[in-house]
Amino acid sequence: MSIGPLIKFAIAYRLNLNPKVADRRVRTSIYLTNTAIAGYAVAMCLWMGTTKYIIIQLMVLAFGGIPAAYLLYVQHSFPGTYWRRHAEWDYMEASLAGSSRLVLPRFLQWVTGNIGFHHIHHIAPRIPNYRLPRAQDACPQLQPGRTLTLGTSLGVLRAKLWDEAAGCYVTFAEGGF
């Protein structure tokens, strides 16, 4: 794990550092959310103390953030994934072949909000998470390019580098490092 996701989600998104977000309603929503988060943090610090609040937040980040980052990583970095430069990139192809279907045990499927159907989320992000399995069953075109399980997802962790010439992920050894 690196500090990159923390910077992206906890700082960059919260400060609206993306120049592409010019919509006034989106900016207002971000600022109102920030105000609510700050108010909640202050209230919790006053109620339980700053040290306890920080410890709880770090535990939530560790026990929730690390598995979430893992699930997101394996759903986009598997053998045979789709990656193209801007001129060759295709939205539908990237949605179906660039993210996998991750089959999880029923309880984990529920706990993760059906993140295993991530490929459908890329195509239609407005479908509520509880309707994603039904959407896949109802539409044969929504079948992913690759299906993983928790067991097969562990093998994905070996490949770290994208080999543009070969069009696939490779290990450091395969990449010549």
Tell me the pLDDT tens digit for each residue of 102-149. 999 999 999 999 999 988 988 888 999 999 999 989 988 887 778 899
Which amino acid, one-letter code, is at 120?
Answer: I
Average pLDDT over residues 4-27: 73
> 3-state DSSP call for residue 170?
strand
Tokens coding 61: 């980040």
**What is the DSSP code (8-state) at residue 125?**
T
Tokens coding 36: 């609510």
pTM of this prediction exceeds 0.85: no
- Which pLDDT belongs to residue 5? 66
Tokens coding 142: 């929504």
Average pLDDT over residues 53-80: 87
Kindly indicate the confidence band of residue 81, based on its pLDDT and cuts at 50, 70 and 90: confident
- Which pLDDT belongs to residue 88? 87
24 alpha-carbon distance from chain centroid: 25
pLDDT at residue 100 greater than cutoff 80: yes
